[in-house]
């Protein structure tokens, strides 16, 4: 159990375009999903916390108008990188909290590697 999927696994886009990344919890309901970004050889950086049916909470320094997060159901959250630029190229990883377990552990999706040319 506790499987989280992401789609796409990798994407290449041109500067100025928008990219949508999907995160799904496949076998559990996720009250909360988290979006992270990881640059090469760096640690995970939390971008935002997404609660089903409400607005996402963004970490300091993360532009909410650039990184649009929607958590429309208990199994799906999406991250849209708008007007992407080369500096947005990174590994984007989502994670989900399994509310059924009553614990705090998060399960990570496999990640999406974004390259902006």
β-bridge mates for residue 97, sequence order: 32, 106
Rank residues 65 and 103 by Cβ distance to another protein and give the closer one: 103
Report if residue 105 touches another protein, rule: CB under 8 A: yes
- Nearest CA among 50, 52, 51 for reference residue 79: 50
Residue for token digits 């630029």? 85
Indicate whether 35 belongs to the interface with another protein (CB under 8 A).
no
The binder of another protein chosen from 35, 58, 67, 107 (CB under 8 A): 107
| 8, 94 Cβ separation under 8 angstroms | no
Give the closest residue to 63 by CA, choosing from 96, 42, 85: 85
Per the document, the length of the chain is 117
Question: Does residue 28 interact with another protein by CB under 8 A?
Answer: no
| 51 touches another protein by CB under 8 A | no
Q: With binding defined as CB under 8 A, does residue 93 bind another protein?
A: yes
# binding residues, another protein (CB under 8 A):
17
Interface with another protein (CB under 8 A): 34, 42-44, 46, 49, 91, 93, 103-111
């Amino acid at each position: 159990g506790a499987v989280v999927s992401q789609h796409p696994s990798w994407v290449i886009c041109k500067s100025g375009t928008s990219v949508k990344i999907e995160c799904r919890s496949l076998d559990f309901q996720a009250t909360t999903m988290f979006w992270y970004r990881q640059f090469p050889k760096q640690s995970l950086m939390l971008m935002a916390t997404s609660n089903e049916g409400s607005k996402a909470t963004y970490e300091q320094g993360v532009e909410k108008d650039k990184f649009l997060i929607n958590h429309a159901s208990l199994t799906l959250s999406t991250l849209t990188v708008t007007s992407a630029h080369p500096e947005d190229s990174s590994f984007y990883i989502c994670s989900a909290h399994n509310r059924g377990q009553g614990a705090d552990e998060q399960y990570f999706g496999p990640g999406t590697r974004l390259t902006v040319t």
